Amino acid sequence: MTLDFSTIPEVWPALMKGAGVTIQLTLAVLILATPGGLLVAFLRLAPQPWLRALVLALSWIFRGIPPLLLLFFAFFGLPIMGLTLQPLPAAILAMTTYMSFYFGEIFASGLRSVPPGQAQAAAALGIPAHRTLMRIILPQTIPAALPPYISHATEILKGTALAAAVAVPELSNAAKKIFVVTYRPLEVLIVAAAIYALLDGVLLLLQMFGERWSNRRRAGR
Amino acid sequence: MPSPFVSASNLRKTYGDFTALDGVSLSMDRGEVVAVIGASGSGKSTLLRCINYLDPPDSGEVRVDGVRIGYGEGAREDRALPERDIRRQRAEIGMVFQHFNLFPHFTVLQNLIEAPMAVRGLSRAEATERARDLLNRVGLSGREGAFPAELSGGQQQRVAIARALCMKPRLMLFDEPTSALDPELVGEVIAVMRSLAEEGMTMLVVTHEMDFAAQTASRVAFFDAGKIVETGPPAQVLRSPQHPRTQAFLQRILRSH
Amino acid sequence: MDYTLIAPYLPDLLSGFWITVQLSVLTLVLATPIATAIALGRDLGPRPLARALAVLVNAVRLLPALIVLYFVFYGGPQLGLRMKPMTAATIGLVAMGAAYMSEDIRGGFSALDRGQLAACRALGLPFGHALRRVLLPQALPLIVPPYMTRAIIMVKGTSLASMVSVADLTAEATRASSITYQPYVFVLLAGVLYLALSGVLVAFQAWVERHLRLRYRLAR
């Protein structure tokens, strides 16, 4: 059998629209889960043991349950609590929640990589705690946290395909809607795969630059 | 004229743009101890790795006791052997590494008996007996049950020498055996090598230990930029070197000591 | 909460769980040897093979798992490969898992001192013997933690099979939820079952690590 890409131009706008939603979803989750991850990281290192234990348990639960199940829960479960969300916000909410816990792990180990002497030195100099955090500690966590952060960004991108399950019209959903009509899944899937690969490529490029930057920063320490 | 016990002729080996061996020839008689000296990165280690075909040379040939390494015997001498058969030839040649390369998850005894059992088909009892013998010889009897990490560097290197000897090799290659050791541990390894030389083992030793080269080697070869530029008795090469590169190298060594 | 409403769907949930267990075991059992072969081929194989494997692995790793499953389930028939949902899901999940897992395995091997292989070859040890007795025992303790992390990700990933008509735990939980409007019960129950599966793997990991420590007494 031969591949026939002649129908692609016709369905191209629909695929592009799907890709647009995929990009939106990726960016939204990336932007929201980053502060979420910081919050989780701080709570993971909180002085109160019960708080640490609670966040550890939540982290274990949210990272242990299939993301797909969490999406279904946001879509079917929240309405019962009186919170009915459109598919896209529901997907953003679910993905942001579990990605925050993944980021939290990354940021927590980044924070642990800063030697305790740094905070002690800042305290000895009389620098206020919040300023120590923002100006001294956080900037030093970036070299250690950046590479895994960006590689998780590609996980977000690939994870957005799951939103198809709750009827978000993202790229893989758009592809499926097309090929159930055209009966030529391979061609559409190949094009969709190429678009995903392209988007991945952008993130991988960022990762390359990020790693180079991180290595320089780390070598300078 | 009888053919030499070991002969390497016209060995060439390049890695990308880097020429490690640029037409190296060397022959050794049975029982001879040749010390190879020269600056780091000059290709000395590559020479050893080409002789036992750990890294096959790009061209040139190696013979040990008349047998061409990497090729069939007699009428089949022009046929390159598969790795499986080269392995059998390699087992006849012992090799000692700069970083010992002991198996960290094995005890000293397990390190020694593994290859004799797997390659030579010795029974555990035979291999163990041989291993104990050799441990005694390198001054480590009683340490059979120790793990490599529990030993000093000098002890580890002596175990590595014993491990190579367990295969009853006909030729021993030493790749900077004392370079990774603390200075105070060098002596014990040199002593083991010296006694091995006295027992008549044929040895090719890449080393920075000029004392060993001067006192134990029957011949010294100076290696520079992929070539042996000068070879001769230690007294001649070390005291009155002919080649300007050798002179410069030895002067640097003298000054740094 | 009305138990009489929920009860009729519990057997379905259980059968979905059983499918998920089968899918998990099948995926792990098939992906592990394939991943090992890929890792060895890439690190020690001839260059053309290493290159081809690198391209294949990285291509798969660029794609969402769902797209890979769609390729097998929907694309397969176009090539004349018609298969049951369970078969298609297994093939897709194994391909995904093996690609990622091969990277984890290579990571373990790359941490090994290259001198170990050189020493084995200098002693004349056959490669298989060197692999079994010297290289693997040293690489295993390094491979086990990322391997198990990957295994847990793969078990969670089996939930994607629900997107290609496999009646697994996720599919049954969603179906029951949407019929009964009792998502808490079913989704939470499914979540607990997934966590239990992960828990089994974590316990297994602890056991394996202890076993490796005792067996090889790595003094490092």
| Yes or no, beta carbons of A172 and C194 under 8 Å apart | no
Chain B / chain C CB contacts < 8 angstroms = 74
List residues bridging with B14 in a β-sheet: B19
Token reading at A97: 């929640």
Q: In the predicted model, what is the mean pLDDT of residues C178-193? A: 84
Share of chain C above pLDDT 70, in %: 97
Model's pTM, two decimal places?
A: 0.78
Superfamily of domain A5-220: MetI-like (1.10.3720.10)
Query: pLDDT tens for residues A18-50?
Result: 999 999 999 999 999 999 999 999 898 888 899
- Residue B8's SS3 state is strand
Among B185, B1, B181, B9, CA closest to B97:
B181
Query: Chain centroid to CA C148: how far?
Result: 9
Tell me if A183 sits within 8 A of A108, measured CB to CB: no
Q: Are B204 and B128 in contact (CB under 8 A)?
A: no
pLDDT digits (tens, 9 = 90+) for B134-193: 999 999 998 999 999 999 999 999 999 999 999 999 999 999 999 989 989 999 999 999
Under the banding of pLDDT at 50, 70 and 90, the label for residue C165 is confident
Supply the mean pLDDT for chain B.
Answer: 90
CB within 8 A of B242, min separation 6: which ones? B230
Residues C143 and C128: their CA atoms lie apart, in Å, by 19
Domains of chain C are 3-219 (1.10.3720.10)
Instruction: Please answer yes or no on whether A68 and C178 come within 8 Å at the CB atom.
Output: no
Residues C30-39 have pLDDT tens digits of: 999 999 999 9
Sheet holding B59-64, edge to edge: B18-28, B6-15, B59-64, B67-68
Q: Which residue on chain B is closest to C118 by alpha carbon?
A: B54
Q: Is A185 in Cβ contact with C74 (below 8 Å)?
A: yes
Q: Quick: pLDDT tens for A140-152.
A: 888 778 878 888 8
Q: Could you give the CA distance from residue B225 to residue B38 in angstroms, rounded to a whole number?
A: 9
* Model confidence at A221: pLDDT above 60: no
- Considering only CB atoms, which residues of chain A are within 8 Å of chain C? 1, 60-61, 64-69, 72-73, 76-77, 80, 157-162, 164-165, 172, 175-176, 179, 184-186, 189, 192-193, 196-197, 200-201
Closest alpha carbon within chain B to C138: B105
Q: Please tell me the predicted confidence (pLDDT) of residue C108.
A: 85
Distance from CA of B60 to the nearest CA of C (A): 20
Its sign, for the CA torsion C121, C125, C127, C129, is negative
B250 contact C CB<8A: no
Q: Where are the alpha helices (DSSP H) in B170-243?
A: 183-198, 210-215, 234
ipTM entry: 0.84
Domain segments of chain A as ranges: 5-220
B6-102+170-254 in CATH: which number? 3.40.50.300
Share of chain A above pLDDT 70, in %: 97
Query: Which pLDDT tens digit goes with each residue over A165-217?
Result: 888 899 999 998 888 888 888 889 999 999 999 999 888 888 788 778 777 76
Residue C127 in contact with partner chain B when CB distance is under 8 A: yes
